[in-house]
Amino acid sequence: MKDAALWFAADPSRYRIVAYGLLVAFAACGVAGAISTRADRALSGRWATVAFLALGLLALAGGRWPTFFVKDSLNNDEGQAVAQAITALHFPTPWLGFDGNTCGPLNTYVLDIPALFGAPITFFSTRIVNVFLEFGAVFGMYAALATTVSKRVARLAAIGPIAFFALSAEAHYLQYAGETMSLFLASACVAYIAGIARWKHPAIAAFAAGLFVGGIPFAKLQAAPIAIALGALALFVALARDGTGAWKLRRGTATIAGVLVAPAVLLGWAFAAGSFSDFWYAYILSALGYILPTEQPLEFLTASTEVGPYFDCLIAVAALGAGALAVLRPRRLSGTQYSYLAALFILAATIDAIYSPRRASLNYLLFAIVPVAGAAGASLDVLFEAFKGRTIVRIAAPAFAIASIAFAPVASFFSPYPWLGSVPDYYESGPNPVTAMVERYVRPGDRMAIWGWRPQYFVFTDTIMGTRDSISHYQQTDSYNPYFAYFRKRYITDMQTIRPRAFLDAGPDSFDFQYGTRNGHEDFPELAAVIREHYRLADSYKSFRLYLRDRD
């Protein structure tokens, strides 16, 4: 693999041939199926569908593969997630073995899947998991549209998000973000909601839809508006489908039962382990304190140079369906039109989730990438149904596909893909000096605490978190953190009970936008006392100081 990766990375044109060749082939299949009845029939078979979706996965991976080789975290949030995943292999209890801060335990557990196949948990493995989750989110949208609308529209709708995820060069949209798992769970839920409406055994689909709904808030609490909307939609569809009262009750009960599974398992586990209060303070109450008192600017969703044009293009297409309904004023809505209204409802909940923290974090925009494409796809079928003739299909289908790609990020087309240099760096550069310093004293599997916001050193050294926090942000500042004293007390408790082998103070070199680490751990007197009593300074590099615990 090394020689092949280096060869492709050596010339940007080789990358473009692979990335754009696969994407154009994928888009061409989508357009062909929309404008040709014969092609639609050919692509609708079981194995043809599998081949089309496999081509979509290859197109996504073909654009993203250089980012697999980035040695450092693409964003500090990614480092947190991987450090927690390494720790969860040994101490999996949520909010006790690890605490994901604003992210729930499901965001961590999914990154441990490679370990089931004997692979180490690294940034490399995490980005592969990330690509599969993004593809799974697109597949969920495809399955929902194919079930309730049509396969030709489902294929067209998949082009935009695949192009976006494949071509984006912005680290916020390439990293494993806290939003990715929620996006996957929500799309899977939508696919099963479609199954409630159309499948032969709707109660099974209702239970599965509820299962995913219940999991969404335990991936990221910010996605709760999406979970509430999908739960209400699933229950509505379960009760609205034809059948006797007994069958409606069975489907409704199955939906509610599914919703309760994830909360019952995770919170029951936390209660039994004694970490339920940590769930309440660290995950629920502190999240409410994290919300800014000011309103988020309305233009946030469209101001991003990458997401903005993509969202503007697809939301314009999504609005066309509403225009068609307003003009036609049907006495009774068709199944396609109901699906379109449901897609708009889901998109509205997604936008609410994006704005709910009132913060301008670019990774929040990931929530919208798939739902806006689903709404645009459902809108297209409303237009096709309204005008019926094939002329509009032949014009609109390729126009939609071209626009979806054109407004996806295309920085890699006009300049060398910025992440190609990561491939030779991955193979040819050695460990950074801080990693080398730590590895002289600490072995893989040892427990280490890090004071500051540098969780990547857990990943580089394959060490287990020495406290339940991968970062110490909540112990360093009381800004929008009403539970500052709680987090500090918990950190001291972990240091005293876990007694990590090493303590790394990142000091001023830590990522720190509120200057909580400018003077190192000495700013926290109780922690400084623990370090003085039980640890000795072993080594240092610039502002990094490594302490080792005295043998008890």
Q: What single string gives the DSSP state of each residue in 231-269?
A: HHHHHHHHHHSSS-HHHHHHHHHHHHHHHHHHHHHHHHH
- In the predicted model, what is the mean pLDDT of residues 274-295? 88
pLDDT beyond 70 at 392: no
pLDDT beyond 90 at 117: yes
* pLDDT at residue 305, rounded to an integer: 80
* pLDDT at residue 537, rounded to an integer: 96
- In the predicted model, what is the mean pLDDT of residues 119-148? 97
* pLDDT at residue 414, rounded to an integer: 59
Contact between 311 and 318 under an 8 Å Cβ cutoff? The reply is: no
* pLDDT at residue 418, rounded to an integer: 83
What are the tens digits of pLDDT across the range 49-60?
999 999 999 999
Q: How far apart are CA 85 and CA 63, in angstroms?
A: 26
Order of strands across the sheet that contains 464-465: 464-465, 447-451, 502-505, 544-549, 535-541
Contact between 44 and 30 under an 8 Å Cβ cutoff? The reply is: no
Q: How far apart are CA 49 and CA 54, in angstroms?
A: 8
Closest C-alpha among 147, 103, 14, 134 to residue 471: 103
- In the predicted model, what is the mean pLDDT of residues 92-96? 97
Q: Give the 3-state secondary structure of residue 462.
A: coil
Q: Are strands 447-451 and 502-505 parallel, antiparallel or unpaired?
A: parallel
* pLDDT at residue 539, rounded to an integer: 96
Closest C-alpha among 163, 103, 154 to residue 134: 163
* pLDDT at residue 520, rounded to an integer: 85
pLDDT beyond 70 at 410: no
Distances (CA, A) of 87 to 303, 376, 462, 467: 37, 41, 9, 10
User: pLDDT category, 296, cuts 50, 70, 90?
Assistant: confident
- In the predicted model, what is the mean pLDDT of residues 532-537? 95
What are the tens digits of pLDDT across the range 218-268?
999 999 999 999 999 999 999 988 878 888 899 999 999 999 999 999 999
Q: How far apart are CA 233 and CA 436, in angstroms?
A: 53
Closest C-alpha among 16, 111, 18, 20 to residue 73: 111
Contact between 547 and 505 under an 8 Å Cβ cutoff? The reply is: yes
CA 130, 134, 140, 142 torsion-angle sign: negative
Contact between 205 and 195 under an 8 Å Cβ cutoff? The reply is: yes
For the chain, domain boundaries: 2-414, 430-549
* pLDDT at residue 552, rounded to an integer: 56
pLDDT beyond 70 at 157: yes
Q: How far apart are CA 455 and CA 81, in angstroms?
A: 9
User: Can you state the angle between helices 151-167 and 307-328, rounded to 10 degrees?
Assistant: 160
Burial group, residue 86, by CB count within 10 angstroms (0-12, 13-18, 19+): buried
Q: How far apart are CA 357 and CA 335, in angstroms?
A: 35
Contact between 218 and 262 under an 8 Å Cβ cutoff? The reply is: yes
CA 451, 452, 454, 455 torsion-angle sign: positive
User: pLDDT category, 416, cuts 50, 70, 90?
Assistant: low
- In the predicted model, what is the mean pLDDT of residues 189-204? 92
Calculate the average pLDDT of the chain: 90
What are the tens digits of pLDDT across the range 462-509?
999 999 999 988 898 887 788 999 999 999 999 999 999 999 998 777
Contact between 56 and 116 under an 8 Å Cβ cutoff? The reply is: no
User: pLDDT category, 340, cuts 50, 70, 90?
Assistant: very high
Contact between 424 and 69 under an 8 Å Cβ cutoff? The reply is: no
What are the tens digits of pLDDT across the range 315-333?
988 888 888 788 777 778 7
DSSP 8-state secondary structure symbol assigned to residue 5: H
* pLDDT at residue 394, rounded to an integer: 64
User: pLDDT category, 115, cuts 50, 70, 90?
Assistant: very high
* pLDDT at residue 385, rounded to an integer: 77
> What proportion of the chain, given as a percentage, has pLDDT over 90?
62
Amino acid at 390: R
Contact between 464 and 86 under an 8 Å Cβ cutoff? The reply is: yes
Contact between 101 and 80 under an 8 Å Cβ cutoff? The reply is: yes
Closest C-alpha among 395, 404, 502, 364 to residue 166: 404
Contact between 213 and 200 under an 8 Å Cβ cutoff? The reply is: no
* pLDDT at residue 406, rounded to an integer: 66
Q: What single string gives the DSSP state of each residue in 429-445?
A: ----HHHHHHHTT--TT
User: pLDDT category, 354, cuts 50, 70, 90?
Assistant: very high
pTM of the shown model:
0.93
Cβ within 8 Å of residue 256, ≥6 positions away: 210, 235
Q: How far apart are CA 226 and CA 217, in angstroms?
A: 9
- In the predicted model, what is the mean pLDDT of residues 436-462? 95
> What proportion of the chain, given as a percentage, has pLDDT over 70?
95
* pLDDT at residue 458, rounded to an integer: 97
- In the predicted model, what is the mean pLDDT of residues 74-97? 95
